[in-house]
Amino acid sequence: MLDIQKLEVEYVTNLAGQKTAVIVPIDNFEELMEDIEDLAAVAERREEPAITHEQLLAELKQDGLL
């Protein structure tokens, strides 16, 4: 996960000096997008029932994935 303190952001301001946009290095932006995608996946699956590690292994073996 990206360390927010190390984002290396630059701010774009209007004539009044108010921040209107942020410039972030592309590597940091891509890492932020990955983090957002991970959080979205967790949120979508929050209501799914949990299974034990043993159940997961059994299902993977049954499906021929292990």
pLDDT tens profile 1-58: 777 778 889 999 999 999 999 999 999 999 999 999 999 999 999 999 999 999 999 9
- In the chain, the number of structural domains is 1
CB atoms under 10 Å from CB of 57, counted, come to 13
- What range defines the domain where residue 32 resides? 4-62
The b-or-e profile of 10-47 (16+ CB within 10 A means b, else e) is: eeeeeeeeeeeeeeeeeebeebeeeeeeeeeeeeeeee
Q: What is the pTM of this model?
A: 0.61
